A and B are shown apart, each in its own frame.
Chain A
Amino acid sequence: MTLGRDKLEEALEALGEVLQARGLVYEIVAVGGSSLLLLGFVTRPTRDLDALALVVEGEYVSARPLPHPFTDAIASVGRAFGLSEEWLNPGPTDLLGFGLPRGFRERVDARRYGGLTVLLAGRVDQVCLKLYATVDQGMQSKHAADLRALQPTPDELVLAARWARTHDPSEGFKQSLLHTLEALGMEDPDDLV
């Protein structure tokens, strides 16, 4: 089953209440399509909510593996609401190892649901992550559609492109990046990136 915004909000509220009832508290950083849905930038339904990081004592740490009591609660809510048992998962958490855009933490949008706090990556950071994913998956991908929906300015695309290069400094990636920027309407991106 896919998650529209209402269903996603309902599932997160349920998860927060279940965590609270079980005496548990967790904080995660969310990115990707579902986080854009919650921020109101896109309307397309998604399949899951991507946890980029777990916040432990104020530090962003890898979300893989999520703690067992947390995955148990996620699975419980998933079953009760007809979702996958892994509807909230640490899919993109490896990105954390390469570093996040500067100022990422100051731009997050915090949403509280009982025992769960979800820090939604800010708009500029979503542009960075979506540009990186678009270079990898192509202009026909859902990431490209999400990136367009974010309506990035040329300056934001330049910032995102420079960050993406820190993840993959190879020449091959640079060429794909330049093609992507051109496809997004930038003129002479080679001079800027």
Chain B
Amino acid sequence: MTSFSDQLHDNSLELAWSLWAEMGVSGWQRHHTSHAIDPELLLLFTAGLGDADPRLREESTDWSVTYGRYVSGTRLRNLLKAQRPEVQSAFGEIAATVSAHSPVRWPRRTQERRFERTGRSVVESFERPSLIVLRLRAFLGVGARAEMVGSFIAEPSQKFTAADLAAETAYTKRNVAEALEALRMAGLVRAAHLRNQFQYRLASPEVLTCLPGEMPQTFPRWRPIFRILDALVGAAERAEYLNATTRRVEASDVLHTLAPDLHALGLHSPLADRSDGGSWAAFESWALATSSAWALGQHDAAWRA
């Protein structure tokens, strides 16, 4: 029988493969044709999977060699700060390998690995709905401005401050403020003074209709999704060495730590309503159902609150 940990690993790999296939990597399954993909977070999530699937690692590196110029080094640098040391280390090798085979220079490069290009990663254009982020970068350049536009597309009726968008996009507040000012000057957004800061909103939803290609149906909050998956896999691995009581405490601890991420996705803790504090079985069942829904791109999965 496959262990809980193995099943979670499989779901994580299935998700990564599907997203990379969407990005143009040679893969069999594409479950996320209408889900906007975040390339930097996907790269870091893939690094966190380590050597669990060598082919995924090779093919995603191959994609990065070809299309790495559309990936933001600034975002990678900012996002890496919050990653586990193991992820930072694995990413360092990927960055060094990509650098050795292309002009792309990502931060935190360490030692390159042996790598031979397969050339199987091909994407004719970024017109797929899922590639909206890459499409915007191809159009507006790799930088904060493209990310700002992406955020406004994701939530066209939402008002944002520079601080909101800096947290959302992993660019510095200064970069975000400069990009917002440029978009305001271009007439794409309007600014309104609120207390001691500005709130920005789209000048009109119509301004986005000039963008080529189809829009995705959903803009998943990948940061909490990947963080939750990473934490669940870690808990499942640790639980293999724990007894029933300590597993119960482990489940409760993980869900407590993940509370802000669950909230961001509109998810409730599976143990919240249990007067007995919850059981490991309930935790396992919830973790597998949630990770499977994400891996398969199910429309009713919690992509964002």
Contact = CB atoms under 8 A, between A and B. Distances in A.
Interface of A: 13-14, 17-18, 21, 76-77, 79-82
A17 B256 CA distance: 19
A82 B275 contact: yes
A81 B243 CA distance: 16
A82 B275 CA distance: 7
Contacts of A77: 249
Given A17-B243, A21-B242, A80 B275 contact: no
B246 A14 contact: yes
Query: Considering residues A13, A76, A79, A80, which has the most beta carbons from chain B within 10 angstroms of its beta carbon?
Result: A80
10 contacts: A17-B243, A18-B245, A18-B246, A21-B242, A79-B256, A79-B277, A80-B248, A80-B251, A80-B252, A81-B277
B242 A80 contact: no
Contacts of A81: 277
A21 B241 CA distance: 9
A80 B243 contact: no
A18 to B, nearest CB: 5
Contacts of B241: 21
Contacts, number: 34
Contacts of A79: 252-253, 256, 277
B278 interface: yes
B276 interface: yes
A76 B249 contact: yes
Interface string B81-112: 00000000000000000000000000000000
Nearest to A81: B277
A13 B249 contact: no
B277 A18 contact: no
A66 B246 CA distance: 21
A80 B242 CA distance: 15
B277 A82 contact: yes
Contacts of A76: 249, 252-253, 256
A79 B276 CA distance: 10
Nearest to A20: B246
Contacts of A82: 275-277
Query: Considering residues B243, B251, B252, B256, which has the most beta carbons from chain A within 10 angstroms of its beta carbon?
Result: B252
Given A76-B249, A80-B278, A82-B275, 10 more contacts: A14-B246, A14-B249, A17-B243, A18-B245, A76-B252, A76-B253, A77-B249, A79-B252, A79-B253, A79-B277
A25 B71 CA distance: 48
Q: Which 8 A-B pairs have the closest CB atoms?
A: A80-B252, A80-B249, A82-B277, A14-B245, A80-B277, A81-B277, A79-B252, A21-B246
A81 B245 CA distance: 10
Contacts of B248: 14, 80
A165 to B, nearest CB: 44
A17 B277 contact: no
Contacts of B253: 76, 79-80
